[in-house]
Amino acid sequence: MDRTASVELPAFPLQLLLKQHPDWRGHPAAVVDRDTPGGVLLWVNEAARSARIRTGMRFATALSLNGDLRAAEVPEARIDQAVAAIAKRLRRHTPHVEPAKREPGVFWLDASGLEGLYPSLMHWASGVEADLGAQRLQATIVVGFRRFAAYALAKSSRGVHILSDPDEEQGALQRVRLDRLAIEPRARDALAKLGVLTIGQLLKLSPEGMRRRYGAAVFELHRLASGDLGVPLQPERPREPVMASIALDHVETDAERLMHLIERLLTPLLDALSGRSQVLDELRLLFRFERLGLHKEYIRPAAPTLDAPQLLELIALRLAGTQLPDGVEEVCLLAHAITPEQQQLELLAERPQRDLDAANRSLARVRAMLGDQALTRARLSAGHLPENGFDWEPFPQLEPARPMPIAHRRLIRRFYRQPIPLPPRPRQEPDGWMLHGLEQGPVVRVSGPYVVAGGWWIRQVHREYHFAETQKGELLWVFYDRVRRRWLIHGRVE
């Protein structure tokens, strides 16, 4: 009989955060959607729950309940990377592993046929738990028969559990509370008003009536719990990465000769990708130096490609900006590839005046020469202070312009990187307030103040912003800092 195991890593993003900050263990901790006072708590630990801190609260509200709360964001990319790493680790215990797409930290494993390799399934599951525990991850493992039953029992229990027969599994499943599952809150609360709190109570209701009253999601849940709907295990089929390497008989210190070696490796690597119907999205260059060890470089073309001359040009630009600090004794190329989308050819294709492909190739050259952080763009974010109202993120590529119709031209407020301190303002100014040099003349009009105050959760802030217009027409954005008791200029309006 087929056996299926479910691995549940409770509050997985919070576990990742505590791995990054081990000193936070024992303190109230939470994961927020954004690290600002208005950020919402997504996951909290037991210490935070003891302080009456709950998910869905604002960060500032939670801090008012307990000032010792530690919180930070966990980027989605980091969660995806961790899920992939754990799935790879779980494949050491069984070849068939399926990560849940909508619930990070949930995995299904094929446990069939393992009794002949291990003394018992408990011995195997305990080994999986110990392996994850060595990574400082708390896990619940349930080995059952049906996919949904193992998942639901893992969501509602702790430790390792082995179910001996399907009847025991179904009996345990009926005692699982609905609030342990990823069910829509509105449907869950509506069912709770009817006294339906467990899966066993749910199964007593008519499936057709539930579909009419609560929708397709609850109807599907009923079918999964009753066994009418069975979803087979859908394990990932990871492909081995395409790579090429060469070990040198003598260490190489010349970048030009090194380029010839890389060219010899790149051609068969691109041929292998072409045989897989893939294109190269990113190329990783690994150099093993004689004394300094391993060094990595990343090359990203403007668009996924198999064009060897374009890639060689980018590699040459990167090596030209990176002096070899030591002799190279081994070179390895590792390709990150994707499957290109099939695009239909247009009969009458529009030819824009701007060649975006050429522009993106130019940006790729700049990135190869100066590094990935050389190209960034501003992204608006929610911040209490003006300088926290935007973040910088990597600039991937140019997109077609989508201008919006504007009836009236708007003024643009430009920030200085750091507010510029102004000289102390004298009590008596017979010639007017000289803000920006004699050539701009004195200030003739001031509007304000516009007060920005608060910041008690980090440091006290009290600023009184003004717009100051000079005699020559320049409009400056200044503020008086009451904490530091001085005037500063924060930007100008154009």
Across 310-348, b (16+ Cβ under 10 Å) vs e yields bbbbbbbbbbeeeebeebbbbbbbbbebeeeeeeeeeee
Structure confidence at residue 371 (pLDDT)? 78
Show the tokens assigned to 153.
Answer: 């029992």
Q: How far apart are the two ends of the chain, measured CA to CA in Å? A: 74
pLDDT by residue (tens digit) across 177-229?
Answer: 887 887 777 787 888 888 888 888 888 888 888 888 888 888 888 888 888 88
Q: Please, are residues 113 and 152 in contact by the beta-carbon 8 Å criterion? A: no
β-pairing verdict for 140-144 and 160-162: parallel
The single-letter DSSP state of residue 136 is: T
Q: How far apart are CA 329 and CA 349, in angstroms?
A: 50
- Chunked into runs of 10 residues, the chain (494 residues) has average pLDDT values of 88 89 88 86 84 85 89 88 91 90 89 87 92 90 91 89 90 86 78 87 85 85 85 80 86 83 89 88 88 85 88 86 77 86 53 74 83 80 75 80 77 84 65 64 82 72 87 85 86 86
Show the tokens assigned to 425.
Answer: 């303002």
Residue type at 408 in one-letter notation: H
Q: How far apart are CA 84 and CA 105, in angstroms?
A: 10
Closest CA to 103 of 199, 232, 12: 12
Interior angle at CA 74, CA 71 and CA 77, nearest 5: 175
The single-letter DSSP state of residue 486 is: E
**Bridge partner list, 142:** 6, 161
**Bridge partner list, 41:** 32
455's torsion region: left (phi>0), alpha (psi -120 to 50) or beta?
Answer: left
Across 449-476, b (16+ Cβ under 10 Å) vs e yields eeeeeeeeeeeeeebbbbbbbbeeebbb
From the centroid of its chain, how far is CA 66?
27
Show the tokens assigned to 77.
Answer: 């990319």
DSSP H or E run through 259: helix 255-275
Long-range residue pairs from 75-83, CB within 8 A, at least 24 positions apart, any chain: 78/16, 79/12, 79/13, 79/16, 79/104, 80/104, 82/12, 82/16, 83/12
Show the tokens assigned to 203.
Answer: 């199964």
DSSP-assigned letters across all residues of 182-198: ---HHHHHHHHHTT--B
- Tell me if residue 328 falls in helix, strand or coil: strand
Q: How far apart are CA 67 and CA 273, in angstroms?
A: 54
Structure confidence at residue 350 (pLDDT)? 58
The single-letter DSSP state of residue 427 is: S
Q: How many CA atoms lie within 13 A of 375 on its CB side?
A: 18
pLDDT by residue (tens digit) across 141-173?
Answer: 999 999 899 999 998 888 999 998 888 988 988
Number of H helices, E strands in the chain: 14, 19
Structure confidence at residue 411 (pLDDT)? 81
